[in-house]
Structure 1
Amino acid sequence: MTTANGQGPREYDMKAVFPEAHKSLAQADPEVAAIIEDEKRRQWRGIELIASENFTSRPVLEALGSCLTNKYSEGQPGARYYGGNENIDKIENLCKARALEAFNLDPEKWGVNVQPYSGSPANFAVYTALLQPHDRIMGLDLPSGGHLTHGYYTAGGKKISATSIFFESLPYKLDLETGYLDYGKLEERALDYRPKLIICGGSAYPREWDYKRLRQIADKVGALLMMDMAHISGLVAAGEADQPFDYADIVTTTTHKSLRGPRAGMIFFRRGPKPADRRAREEDEGVLYDFEDRINFAVFPSLQGGPHNHQIGALAVALKHVKAPEFKAYAQQVRRNAAALGEALVKRGYKLVTGGTDNHLVLWDLRPEGITGSKMEKACDQCHITLNKNAVVGDVSALTPGGVRIGSPAMTSRGLKEEDFAKIAGFLHEVLEECKAVQRASGKKLVDFVRGVEGSPVIADIRRRVEEWAGSFPMPGFDVSDL
């Protein structure tokens, strides 16, 4: 390599100046390198069923580990607080353009901020931008499948979520009989409560959202409507889930779940003139949405410092792939696999919330089986099957859940099809049967139960077969040949 004047790079002793600069990770820190290799092995040899996780691609991982992490770039492209951002501006502008293109949005009508570090900061930036402290909001109750950032109090009134600390939150809930959203009660509560913001979207709701009905309710009470599509954004982009953009004022998302990108967040906001049905008065013709400056200011400088440019670069890479035909096929397979898993569990006599799924996850109600979600999660961990305990409809607390949440995005990224997810249902059935046997022998205390499953030869045999089976599938993003 030569410089512009034809000279080679200056000669100096790099080892004396920065001894770690050109070492590999394995050379510089073998302890951390070994843990990373162990994590690679865990991901490859296990069955990953956490609905909020996925396996990203090699190019995304390369961008995450690139020199983009070296640069500070507070502010927006073209208006930075530091110099030297010409390439960072190109990356962020490209990411914004690809984000709008991924969801087929007109840049005259929608804008996007791609700087949030993840989904929770994105949501709180929206609240900071558009609400005043103690304004009222409504979101899906956490035990009903909502998210902490949509507001949550415990049964004793403790404010668990910062959203509920700084704002007044009243949840809406599911129908106890069907497990579906009860829009009638939602409207009734909204008319009494008069929230400033209604939030839709959740982390454990297996059905579609009626955005038109939610818009009507929001308009009736004078509220803004925000959709948090973190879980289903990949399905929305691929046209495999209803899109919220015709009805919502704001749409937020993470980028690492069904979108299959890096861990980051985005905020989409309306721009341009308000349509007639969104104006406060008829004479407001020509009034513009004022979300853009307020949201950008809330992200920085109100809540964050400099954006993580390696995340933004990696997100741009992932968003390019969203427009490829194979991503559409992937999203279709995600839905088919979730449905196949649910059907296989139902055939075995198990109960699912709402009886099935429209998207990427199923919510398995374990209360009829006499096993808590916490115990099933612990037993599955011992079998190298990763899922999470989750509240189900009728639970009074998300801390003592009666079920587990099971998602299909990650294993679909490894190439699994419907018959493979039916096999996974078989593994889960075996684990549950052993959970019952262990509980009968050890009693209901969690500590005794965990000790029982850790010493179970049945659990050990399931783990052996799971690892052999899971290890037969390819692994995206990194090489497993030397693991």
Structure 2
Amino acid sequence: RYGIKDLETGEIDYDELRAMAKKHKPKIILAGFSAYPRELDYQKFVDIANEVDAMAMADVAHIAGLIAGGVAKNPFDYGFHLMTTTTHKTLRGPRGGMILTKGTVGSPLKSVEQTLENLPTIIDRSVFPGYQGGPHMNNTLAKAVAFGEALQPEFKEYASQVIKNASRLAEELMERGFKLVTNGTDNHLILVDIHTSFGIDGSEAEKVLDKIGLTLNKNAIPNDTLPPFKPGGIRLGTPAITSRGMKESDMEMVAEWMLQAIKSKNDSKALDAIKNQVKEFCLQFPLPSDLSN
């Protein structure tokens, strides 16, 4: 597993990655993350993979919607062979997954030569019927609706606003004393070193913020000294609040509520008061009627 070269910027240690690849000669080099707020240098991953004759694979589950919206880089543009993603998260579809490849699609009923060009057929033969079966047509329809939405101009606006909101929220949090891993974000994710910031662990912060109606999760941070179930960080993102219509100016209130809740973590009356403020604020951004009824 490769690491980060500079915790302040979040730069991946590509020299370490190259050395590991040359030593272990992997068949696949995976580029992906669940709590990394910066953009990867996909070209370097491809260059290193080519040096050791490995397949370049990207897990874009968290940023698929941003790629579809044109605000995040597409690994395929840099020569990746394979991508995997969920159909929910930033893509806003139902729960599910996809495997995306380049190459020629053939019949999964016929054996093919093991080449990159035949990768789509090789994968089809691998997953069906052994691992995949019993299709849920309601999910298939929901995915079609989500993909259709992702093709619309409004989806590009949504993706762009997700980035704007995350950037602004990161700024507002840092102004209030929150220590952010890599000091900001390039995507929808924000990773906070809550232990360094306020002396509490991520589990406690998660529970306190849940009490006021803000949903996020505890998360480990690079070089975390705390245990996994009580890590030093919290992870939050902006897709959901962006989908409800919030803009950059609204991020100030979100950051302020987070600060006040943590300061008042042992004061139930204060937390109830903040929760009421959050509720009143959210009424300005109602959910679609088909979800709220």
Pair 1:467 & 2:286 matched: no
Deviations 1:220-269 (A, max 9, x none): 12211111111111110111001111221111111111111111111111
Deviations 1:70-106 (A, max 9, x none): xxxxxxxxxxxxxxxxxxxxxxxxxxxxxxxxxxxxx
Q: Kindly indicate whether the alpha-carbon contact (under 8 Å) linking 1:333 and 1:417 is maintained by their aligned counterparts in 2.
A: yes
| Matched ranges for 1:352-363 at <5 A | 352-363=180-191
Q: Kindly indicate whether the alpha-carbon contact (under 8 Å) linking 2:194 and 2:202 is maintained by their aligned counterparts in 1.
A: yes
Q: Kindly indicate whether the alpha-carbon contact (under 8 Å) linking 1:269 and 1:292 is maintained by their aligned counterparts in 2.
A: yes
Q: Kindly indicate whether the alpha-carbon contact (under 8 Å) linking 2:104 and 2:119 is maintained by their aligned counterparts in 1.
A: no
TM-score (norm 2): 0.90
Aligned partner of 2:138 in structure 1 is 310
Aligned partner of 1:294 in structure 2 is 122
Pair 1:263 & 2:75 matched: no
Task: Give the match's secondary structure for 1:423.
Answer: helix
Aligned partner of 1:379 in structure 2 is 208
Larger RCO, structure (CA 8 Å, separation 6 or more): 1
In the alignment, structure 1 segments of 5+ residues that lack a partner are 1-170, 274-286, 439-452
Aligned partner of 2:248 in structure 1 is 418
Deviations 1:188-218 (A, max 9, x none): 2222222111111111111111110000111
Q: Kindly indicate whether the alpha-carbon contact (under 8 Å) linking 1:272 and 1:288 is maintained by their aligned counterparts in 2.
A: no
Counterpart code for 1:224: M
Aligned partner of 2:40 in structure 1 is 209
Identical-residue share of aligned pairs (%): 45
Aligned partner of 1:348 in structure 2 is 176
Aligned equivalents of 2:43, 2:169: Cα separation in 1:
30
- Alpha-carbon offset, residue 299 of structure 1: 2.0
Q: How many residues are treated as equivalent by the alignment?
A: 280
| Matched ranges for 1:396-407 at <5 A | 398-407=228-237
Q: Kindly indicate whether the alpha-carbon contact (under 8 Å) linking 1:235 and 1:331 is maintained by their aligned counterparts in 2.
A: yes
Deviations 1:449-472 (A, max 9, x none): xxxx6xx21111111211121122
Aligned equivalents of 2:16, 2:288: Cα separation in 1:
44
User: Which of the numbers 329, 345, 351 marks the counterpart of 2:157?
Assistant: 329
Aligned partner of 1:478 in structure 2 is 290
CA RMSD of aligned residues (A): 1.8
Pair 1:177 & 2:10 matched: no
Deviations 1:283-321 (A, max 9, x none): xxxx76121222112221121222222111111111111
Aligned equivalents of 2:183, 2:140: Cα separation in 1:
39
Aligned equivalents of 1:400, 1:421: Cα separation in 2:
27
Aligned partner of 1:394 in structure 2 is 223
Counterpart code for 2:246: L
**Structure with max Cα Rg:** 1
Query: Structure 2 vs 1, CA of residues 373 and 229 (structure 1 numbering), >3 Å: closer, same or farther?
Result: same
| Matched ranges for 1:71-110 at <5 A | none
Aligned equivalents of 2:44, 2:6: Cα separation in 1:
20
Query: Structure 2 vs 1, CA of residues 339 and 217 (structure 1 numbering), >3 Å: closer, same or farther?
Result: same
Counterpart code for 1:387: L
Aligned equivalents of 2:136, 2:279: Cα separation in 1:
36
Aligned partner of 1:409 in structure 2 is 239
| Matched ranges for 1:39-58 at <5 A | none
Query: Structure 2 vs 1, CA of residues 416 and 263 (structure 1 numbering), >3 Å: closer, same or farther?
Result: same
Query: Structure 2 vs 1, CA of residues 292 and 479 (structure 1 numbering), >3 Å: closer, same or farther?
Result: closer
Aligned partner of 1:237 in structure 2 is 68
Task: State which drifts further: 183-192 or 210-219.
Answer: 183-192
Task: Give the match's secondary structure for 2:11.
Answer: coil
- Alpha-carbon offset, residue 477 of structure 1: 5.7
Aligned equivalents of 1:230, 1:217: Cα separation in 2:
22
Aligned equivalents of 1:302, 1:336: Cα separation in 2:
43
Pair 1:338 & 2:166 matched: yes
Counterpart code for 1:376: A
User: Which of the numbers 57, 71, 74 marks the counterpart of 1:226?
Assistant: 57
Q: Kindly indicate whether the alpha-carbon contact (under 8 Å) linking 2:195 and 2:232 is maintained by their aligned counterparts in 1.
A: yes
Task: Give the match's secondary structure for 1:239.
Answer: coil
Q: Kindly indicate whether the alpha-carbon contact (under 8 Å) linking 1:234 and 1:260 is maintained by their aligned counterparts in 2.
A: yes
Aligned equivalents of 1:343, 1:372: Cα separation in 2:
22
Aligned partner of 1:282 in structure 2 is none
Aligned equivalents of 1:401, 1:187: Cα separation in 2:
30
User: Which of the numbers 83, 87, 91 marks the counterpart of 1:251?
Assistant: 83
User: Which of the numbers 234, 238, 262 marks the counterpart of 1:432?
Assistant: 262
Q: Kindly indicate whether the alpha-carbon contact (under 8 Å) linking 2:190 and 2:235 is maintained by their aligned counterparts in 1.
A: yes
Query: Structure 2 vs 1, CA of residues 342 and 383 (structure 1 numbering), >3 Å: closer, same or farther?
Result: same
| Matched ranges for 1:279-290 at <5 A | 289-290=117-118
Query: Structure 2 vs 1, CA of residues 224 and 422 (structure 1 numbering), >3 Å: closer, same or farther?
Result: same
Counterpart code for 1:335: I
Q: Kindly indicate whether the alpha-carbon contact (under 8 Å) linking 1:176 and 1:393 is maintained by their aligned counterparts in 2.
A: no
Aligned equivalents of 1:399, 1:221: Cα separation in 2:
37
Aligned partner of 1:138 in structure 2 is none
- Alpha-carbon offset, residue 176 of structure 1: 5.5
